[in-house]
Amino acid sequence: MAAIDQPTKNTADHFGSEEPKIKTLVIDTNAIINGISLRNLAEEFYTCPEVMVEIRSSHSRDFLTRLPFEIQIEQPSEESMKAVVEFSKKTGDYASLSIPDIKVLALAHTFAMKAPGHEEIRSEPLKGPAKKGPTPKKTNTPAAPQPVKKETDEPVKEKTNESAKEEVKESVKEEDPVEYLVQSVDDIIIDENIDEDDSDAGDWITPENVGEFQAAQLGVTPEEMRKPKKMEVACVTSDFAMQNVLLQMNMNLVSAGGHRIKKVRNWVLRCHACFTVTTDMEKKFCPKCGNASLMRVSCSTNNKGQIVYYLKRNYNYNLRGTKYDIPNPKGGRQVNNLVLREDQNEYVKATRGHQKKKLVDLFDPDFTPIYGKMETRTPGNNMYGTDVIGFGRKNPNATNKRTGRKK
């Protein structure tokens, strides 16, 4: 997409500075897994319990034990959770965010709402102008027919200098009279004391005085501009979907190792078959034609209020697996047929199972399991169905490896 152009002013790329530039820093999982140096970066460090659960490798756990500071565990507020979920749905990043990602964003939002300047945090993404599209191609329109001059045998008269001057005088007389201010050469006074260096009427901008010019444009002194500003709350992450939500909510972002987005984007789903657009990023099938042909497309709003979609140039839809016929549906308890429609029995069972898992949160402190009424069934058959659409990631044209003893 040529997406909404917004400068990433609330970003930082400086690690290991002597004085902490951030008061409260919220840490994501990838910052710990990648082993980013967080020393002297902030005064207080926070994260959520789900981040600590995701850290499983011995290398990452050793990195945690070697940290010279303590990472405090906090839970985000319910208001921040709702705000982040609603905002990510509006930007189209909700489907790309996991539960730990949402909780990290909500924790940063919780601290940001308590800090001064929380009025600048947005509840809706900005609708910026879109970039100009390609210029229309010029069409070769036939020129208007011109009258053909008659050929004569009379000789052509050659124009002399005197006749040409007379024609110019007559043309000047026919035009409207225009007053000209004629200045003689003697009246022009040339100042010989003018220095050649001052011909541009101003000082040159050099690397030494560029700070003074920038400070003058902002209306501050150079000393005030050189004074480092301290962030109240920031979040360190290298996940692009999280960065997109952070920047559009106008919260501070600390990039991890230079991995930072250049433009913020809004996303929608567009059907490749019937061109229907939906903002529900959790959809797998088109709400109009029913095909599993929804593509993730970036969009923006232009000055006229029209939504502009940015498609990939020379995009070829993946037709792998369509060369051969699909297998016939089979019956039985332990068979899952290919999912081709949203109302298919296997897909409906799978979506119901996912909804039940979302309702029950085992990490909830108020959760008390009731013995004898818990779900004890095992997914050894198609009891839970399948949410794999079509052939999934596997290559349907590849032959299956033969297992077992040959008969």
Q: What is the pLDDT of residue 306?
A: 80
CB proximity list for 147: less than 8 A, separation 6 or greater: none
Q: What is the pLDDT of residue 407?
A: 60
**DSSP state, 71?**
E
Q: What is the pLDDT of residue 3?
A: 43
Residue 262 contacts residue 242 (beta carbons within 8 Å): no
Q: What is the pLDDT of residue 287?
A: 92
Q: What is the pLDDT of residue 190?
A: 46
CA distance 361 to 350: 18
Establish whether 274 is an annotated binding residue: yes
List the Cα angle 238/241/245 in 5-degree steps.
Answer: 105
Establish whether 235 is an annotated binding residue: no
Across 58-124, the runs of DSSP E, i.e. the strands, are 71-73
Residue 225 contacts residue 215 (beta carbons within 8 Å): yes
Residue type, 326: I
| Helix/strand/coil for 363 | coil
Q: Give the pTM.
A: 0.62
Residue position matching structure tokens 């959520």: 48
Establish whether 271 is an annotated binding residue: yes
Pairing type for strands 294-301 and 266-271 reads antiparallel
Q: What is the pLDDT of residue 17?
A: 45
CA distance 352 to 336: 16
Residue 47 contacts residue 24 (beta carbons within 8 Å): no
Q: What is the pLDDT of residue 85?
A: 92
CA distance 20 to 51: 23
Q: What is the pLDDT of residue 160?
A: 55
Residue 348 contacts residue 385 (beta carbons within 8 Å): yes
CA distance 13 to 142: 59
- β-strand partners of 47: 73
Q: How many CA atoms lie within 13 A of 29 on its CB side?
A: 19
Mean pLDDT (10-residue bins), the chain, 407 residues: 44 55 89 84 89 88 87 91 92 89 93 88 74 52 58 55 56 49 46 48 74 73 68 89 91 80 86 91 90 89 81 85 81 80 85 60 53 46 69 73 71
**DSSP state, 1?**
-
Establish whether 289 is an annotated binding residue: yes
Pairing type for strands 42-47 and 71-73 reads parallel
CB proximity list for 394: less than 8 A, separation 6 or greater: none
Beta-sheet strand order (sheet of 266-271)? 277-278, 266-271, 294-301, 307-310
Q: Is the dihedral of CA 280, 282, 288, 294 positive or negative?
A: positive
Q: Is the dihedral of CA 257, 258, 264, 267 positive or negative?
A: negative
Pairing type for strands 307-310 and 294-301 reads antiparallel
